[in-house]
Amino acid sequence: MKRMSRGRWALVVGALFCLAEQKLGPTNAVLAQSDTSPKVSAITDARLRAHVKFLADDLLEGRGPSTRGGNLAANYIATEFKLLGLAPGAGDGSYFQMVTMVESKTDAGKGLTISGGAGAPEVLAPAADTVVGTGVEDPDVSVDADLVFLGYGINAPEQKWNDYQGVDVHGKVVMIMVNDPPATASEPNLFGGKALTYYGRWTYKYEEAARQGAAGVLLIHTTESASYPWTVVQNAWSGTQYSLPLEPGQPTLRLKAWVNDGAATRIAAKAGKDLAELRRAASVRGFTAVPLGLRVGAALHQATARKQSPNVIGILRGANTSQAVLYTAHYDHFGIRDPKPDDPPHADLVPTGSKKRRDQ
């Protein structure tokens, strides 16, 4: 199951680009073929700001998927598509392709418990040390499994790289680093060199671990490897989450978790290992996974519901029917949530008398 962060759901086709090009003729759109050159000069700061100001207004209540505010945003975009002369692109003749999703709110209880190894069990506190989710819809989800350090968690035959080789991870929890293995002097283009490949993304790590039969994943976060701070993980993976329903027979994980670098370091030390040394070993071709002699325990409770939210699709038809240009962007965001101590002091985001925050 692909779990989407709250700010990355509901594909909008052509939205941000087309909204910026008020009646410019056949230029950027969903399936666009045209002989006309885009009139770049007509894309102005004022037009962009006008659209963003409305979509970010408190009236839209943070544009959460399948909410009043999210639907207002979808209708706004569809109206602008019509003004631009874009034809409806959904199968029913409208601009709205309804997508079924799973809405979930997970309570991780006291967090994750790491037992075995040296000393007393280590409890990883929610938010401070770990952010926890699941790939199943069950109301109660428990995990009690062996923990294996699996390096980058990559199986890439074309790169001759397989971190799963020689280890059976069925029913186990694997601890994985984000990003790709680093390129070397002898292989400067290994995993795209400095570019991030899909193998380096957290989505792939979860998907491959599920295909390999793992019960769960602990992704090790560092600001350098992820290119964003721990607070981004805290914000994106806490509160209401959205995912696509599982297809019949589709593998998934019972535990989808992140741990920060400090927590990962403590876990390795509890197993008598040095995390820096594990990382160095995992960066070399031929790395063998390391069973840590620890167990991961978790007890999650969640409320789930099947909901629908629209993709907004507009089409600009051209003379060449064998080619198309696709523009996409997302229009949803965080919705409404309780304020947090580290929120920036944007008083304009909180209506007078409200104890809730509308995230733009």
pLDDT of residue 321: 86
Q: Is 93 helix (H, G, I), strand (E, B) or coil?
A: coil
pLDDT of residue 339: 73
Q: What token pair was written down for 196?
A: 């991030």
Residue 145 has, within 13 A of its CA and on its CB side, a CA count of 24
Average pLDDT, the chain: 85
Question: Which fold would CATH assign to domain 104-304?
Answer: Glucose Oxidase; domain 1 (3.50.30)
Where residue 309 falls among pLDDT bands split at 50, 70, 90?
Answer: very high
Question: Do 245 and 304 touch, CB atoms closer than 8 A?
Answer: no
Average pLDDT for 172-201: 93
Exposure pattern of 89-113 as b/e (b: 16+ CB <10 Å)? bbeeeebbbebebbbbebebeebbb
Q: What are phi and psi of 297, to 5 degrees?
A: -120, 140
Q: Is the pLDDT of residue 31 over 90?
A: no
Domain spans in the chain, listed from the N-terminal domain onward: 3-95+313-358, 104-304
Residue 236: the pLDDT is: 84
DSSP secondary structure string for all residues of 169-198: -TT-EEEEE-SPPPP-SS-TTGGGTTSPPG
pLDDT in tens, 219-244: 999 999 999 999 999 988 888 899 99
Residue 131 near residue 238 (C-beta atoms within 8 A): yes
Rounded distance, CA 9 to CA 65, Å? 7
8 A C-beta contact, residue 201 and residue 191: no
Query: How many CB atoms sit inside 10 A of residue 15's CB?
Result: 28
| Predicted pLDDT at 359 | 55
- What per-residue confidence (pLDDT) applies to 345? 60
Give yes or no for residue 73 having a pLDDT over 80: yes
Flag whether pLDDT at 138 surpasses 60.
Answer: yes
pTM higher than 0.75, yes or no?
yes
| Nearby residues of 235 by Cβ (< 8 Å), 6 or more positions away | 334
What number is the average pLDDT over the span 148-175?
Answer: 97
Q: What is the pLDDT of residue 167?
A: 96
